[in-house]
Chain A
């Protein structure tokens, strides 16, 4: 894959700016490598949060005499609704791919369109999460109700903050690209982050919602 990409873009470079070639020891740009290293680090952040959730998910009700609400988290899940929002988030990965594809072809209007669509789908997912959180609180399961609700809100909340950060990056990128040219690689690097956040959601959805 790398080879074809290289070939494809060498043409572009020859035409556009032969004087400004950045070299690196690995052949990967600093920005992209930096993002990979950061994502590696982020894996362990979610690893820690997921472990915490797995430890606490079934505590309320199973240990007698505990303070806190005995309501089980799983009794409140609305699987069809969350499947919907998960599907929306996964589709945003598709639009992200289309955005990277457009900027490689140098098609700026399309790039912007797909960037904004990705951000929109991400925002829709966040809206779903806010709705879900409010519903839980109305049912009487807030952040401090018991250990499993605390772990749940912490884990999904951290993921939500990651999505929100991604939405801001995407919108900022779309806005900047209206004023000046943006390097394709910048879009690709933001895309790496976005796909990572999506993959993490696949894990969280499976572990939190689907495993009984």
Chain B
């Protein structure tokens, strides 16, 4: 393979690793492969992905509960269920939870689990940093929610405009928890974005050029780059807010010369790319699911990728359309109106390409496909109402009404969340080794779709009638009664659909326990590399790293074309798939230190808010974590190699040797042309 043998060696690799085996002198390294320890100290991208998914689903229930409280309060006029103050807290916490604790981490779950599999790698480029991201995020999320018990949640709305965010108007600690909590979670996202960006750039299997990557990988790549550049901006905004509230600065206090506009600009320079950070992973998932169940390659792959990149770039030039009502002047309004209209173009390209992929295909409406088609439909509605905001005169009417609420729920629930559910049904067998029930899944889908439209459809009408968002109640004579009641009923239908989903997960698992049926490596007759390995994914992912020659490599190994261009099978799936039985694979070893380092951060957070002395133990934990981390080699030299601890060197079979880092020195393997597929497990 010319592609692989000519890869240049890395620059400047002088010196050698002298490995210390017991870095702190006290603790032995964790080695458990089962039980809770194997999860707590793991650096395996698959376990980390599953934990991201499980935790974000729990937060979905929390945020969903808050949503039900909002809807109950608004179900009838003049309701007294929530006070105005509590209502402010509930809708703020609902928004922040759904954005930072549900959609982003759930997308991170898919990215973590699937990226290495889709690009043919054994793990991400920095496995311990990956574990760090998970724990920092999770502890930051718990820290943020602990505000409920410590004087009340944040109450300034998720975009938290000044002066409402100042101490004068929000004297509780809620917004302190918002600022510090989001800073902590920002650290997690930055670390993870750097990690995944490097993974995609550097860890691709031989032959997998950028334009042979699956669309999901591409969209995740765009998302990580957006995160890399967007997070520091919100970090600055949050730091300034924290200094205002906790250390007496006056960045956003107009009476002392501060400028509330600065917050709006900084927030939305982050906030608008954030919108695409939330939606693009779902676009990626849909672009994987639709071709498989249409039995056609994705229509216009380069345009699919290009429109994703274009969205990523243009997403930086539209932020002020959130601020049309702020009085920033006609030139700015005009410029941002135009750019907002233009950004609809690449999004439209995606919608049309999905439709063209389905056109003339042999469609199979599995649950994953239903959710994907749901995304196409619902996102189109949300996109159309979104373009209507580009017209500034109309937008100044709609700003802060339920029309806006309807719009962003159509894109974020109808677009992002439905797509994430499509991904769950699609990749569930790959992650857990059994299928989710299709028949219960269809109930889940239809209930969710109907409930979703009942809840958010009427909000268009309410908004155009003038109902303001963030107002805790309305009066009898305003004409909002009927549609509010409908929306509340709809929200409980959504809640019911989530119960159906949880029942599906539980009953499918129980059925599988009673009568295990392995779905095999490739239950959907799919196209990308992750389906080439057994389900559930073995710990080392690939027995040997595949050499990639085409887009949809796995599909092309199964199918070819006859003279008339018809699809013919050229190899049985079992013959193409790997067995998952390789031994002697170097894998990064588990570690305590990511968890130690992460656990210091919320303590520092409490210290900042309540008493700086409390930050000292947190800081000490962080220092200990960093010290242990640096002194510990990423792969334990004492650990056995591979998933079943075979001794290395003598007894491995020749095919497995190809996947073995040690085998590079083996002359026989060197003679083999596929020697170059040898991959070291990642370090870091």
Interface residues in chain A, defined as those with a beta carbon under 8 Å from any beta carbon in chain B: 2, 5-6, 9-10, 12-13, 16-34, 37-38, 40-45, 47-49, 52, 55-56, 59-60, 63, 66-68, 103-104, 106, 143-144, 146-148, 150-151, 154, 172, 176, 180-185, 188
Closest to B259 in A: A55
Closest to A60 in B: B257
- Taking a contact as CB atoms under 8 Å apart, the answer to whether A63 and B240 are in contact is no
List the B side residues contacting A188 at CB < 8 Å: 12
Which residues in window 219-258 of B have CB below 8 A to A?
A: 228-233, 235-237, 239-240, 243, 247-251, 255-258
- Taking a contact as CB atoms under 8 Å apart, the answer to whether A19 and B15 are in contact is no
B190 within 8 A of A: yes
Say what secondary structure dominates the interface of chain A: helix
A-B residue pairs in contact (CB < 8 Å), sample of 17 = A2-B11, A6-B11, A23-B9, A24-B203, A25-B202, A26-B201, A30-B683, A32-B11, A37-B198, A45-B236, A49-B236, A67-B257, A103-B15, A148-B257, A150-B250, A154-B239, A183-B13
Instruction: Count CB-based A-B contacts (< 8 Å).
Output: 198
List the A side residues contacting B262 at CB < 8 Å: 52, 55
- Taking a contact as CB atoms under 8 Å apart, the answer to whether A68 and B250 are in contact is yes
Contact of A146 (CB < 8 Å), options: B203, B232, B240, B257: B257
CA of A41 to CA of B235 in the docked complex: distance in angstroms?
11
Knowing A25-B202, A150-B243, the reply to whether A6 touches B13 (Cβ < 8 A) is: no
CA of A5 to CA of B12 in the docked complex: distance in angstroms?
7
Question: In the assembled complex, how far is the CB of residue B587 from the closest CB belonging to chain A, in whole angstroms?
Answer: 16
- Taking a contact as CB atoms under 8 Å apart, the answer to whether B14 and A9 are in contact is yes
Knowing A9-B12, A41-B194, the reply to whether A28 touches B202 (Cβ < 8 A) is: yes
CA of A34 to CA of B125 in the docked complex: distance in angstroms?
9
Question: In the assembled complex, how far is the CB of residue B103 from the closest CB belonging to chain A, in whole angstroms?
Answer: 21
Closest to A45 in B: B232
B514 within 8 A of A: no
Knowing A42-B232, A48-B266, A52-B240, the reply to whether A184 touches B12 (Cβ < 8 A) is: yes
- Taking a contact as CB atoms under 8 Å apart, the answer to whether B126 and A30 are in contact is yes
Question: In the assembled complex, how far is the CB of residue B547 from the closest CB belonging to chain A, in whole angstroms?
Answer: 13
Knowing A16-B14, A16-B16, A23-B9, the reply to whether A34 touches B247 (Cβ < 8 A) is: no
B44 within 8 A of A: no
Knowing A40-B228, A106-B14, the reply to whether A48 touches B250 (Cβ < 8 A) is: no
CA of A103 to CA of B11 in the docked complex: distance in angstroms?
13
Contact of B665 (CB < 8 Å), options: A19, A31, A48, A52: A19
Knowing A19-B665, A67-B256, A144-B250, the reply to whether A184 touches B13 (Cβ < 8 A) is: yes
B640 within 8 A of A: no
* Given pairs A143-B247, A147-B251, 4 additional interface contacts (CB within 8 A): A9-B9, A9-B11, A30-B126, A144-B250
Which residues in window 636-684 of B have CB below 8 A to A?
A: 664-665, 676, 679-680, 682-684
- Taking a contact as CB atoms under 8 Å apart, the answer to whether B682 and A30 are in contact is yes
CA of A103 to CA of B231 in the docked complex: distance in angstroms?
35
- Taking a contact as CB atoms under 8 Å apart, the answer to whether B229 and A181 are in contact is no
CA of A176 to CA of B630 in the docked complex: distance in angstroms?
10
List the A side residues contacting B683 at CB < 8 Å: 22, 30-31
- Taking a contact as CB atoms under 8 Å apart, the answer to whether A27 and B243 are in contact is no
- Taking a contact as CB atoms under 8 Å apart, the answer to whether B249 and A144 are in contact is yes
Contact of A185 (CB < 8 Å), options: B10, B190, B257, B258: B10
- Taking a contact as CB atoms under 8 Å apart, the answer to whether B235 and A45 are in contact is yes
Closest to B682 in A: A30
- Taking a contact as CB atoms under 8 Å apart, the answer to whether B233 and A48 are in contact is yes
List the B side residues contacting A45 at CB < 8 Å: 232-233, 235-236
CA of A144 to CA of B256 in the docked complex: distance in angstroms?
10
List the A side residues contacting B10 at CB < 8 Å: 21-24, 27-29, 185
Question: Sorted from nearest, which 6 A-B pairs have the closest CB atoms?
Answer: A48-B236, A45-B232, A180-B18, A44-B232, A30-B125, A150-B249
Question: In the assembled complex, how far is the CB of residue A27 from the closest CB belonging to chain B, in whole angstroms?
Answer: 4
List the A side residues contacting B248 at CB < 8 Å: 143-144
CA of A23 to CA of B125 in the docked complex: distance in angstroms?
12
- Taking a contact as CB atoms under 8 Å apart, the answer to whether A147 and B250 are in contact is yes
Closest to A9 in B: B12
Question: In the assembled complex, how far is the CB of residue A89 from the closest CB belonging to chain B, in whole angstroms?
Answer: 22
Knowing A48-B266, A185-B12, the reply to whether A31 touches B249 (Cβ < 8 A) is: no
- Taking a contact as CB atoms under 8 Å apart, the answer to whether A44 and B195 are in contact is no
Q: Which of B9, B17, B257, B258 has the most CB of A within 10 A?
A: B257
**B621-642 interface mask toward A, CB cutoff 8 Å, 1 = contact, 0 = none?**
0000000001000000000000
Contact of B198 (CB < 8 Å), options: A33, A68, A104, A182: A33
B438 within 8 A of A: no
Q: Which of B14, B230, B257, B679 has the most CB of A within 10 A?
A: B14
Question: In the assembled complex, how far is the CB of residue B163 from the closest CB belonging to chain A, in whole angstroms?
Answer: 14
- Taking a contact as CB atoms under 8 Å apart, the answer to whether B15 and A184 are in contact is yes
CA of A163 to CA of B679 in the docked complex: distance in angstroms?
36
Question: In the assembled complex, how far is the CB of residue B26 from the closest CB belonging to chain A, in whole angstroms?
Answer: 18
B197 within 8 A of A: yes
Question: In the assembled complex, how far is the CB of residue A155 from the closest CB belonging to chain B, in whole angstroms?
Answer: 10
CA of A76 to CA of B344 in the docked complex: distance in angstroms?
51
B360 within 8 A of A: no
- Taking a contact as CB atoms under 8 Å apart, the answer to whether B11 and A181 are in contact is no
List the B side residues contacting A19 at CB < 8 Å: 664-665
List the B side residues contacting A18 at CB < 8 Å: 665
List the A side residues contacting B233 at CB < 8 Å: 44-45, 47-48
B7 within 8 A of A: yes
Question: In the assembled complex, how far is the CB of residue B576 from the closest CB belonging to chain A, in whole angstroms?
Answer: 24
B20 within 8 A of A: yes
List the B side residues contacting A40 at CB < 8 Å: 228-229
List the A side residues contacting B679 at CB < 8 Å: 23
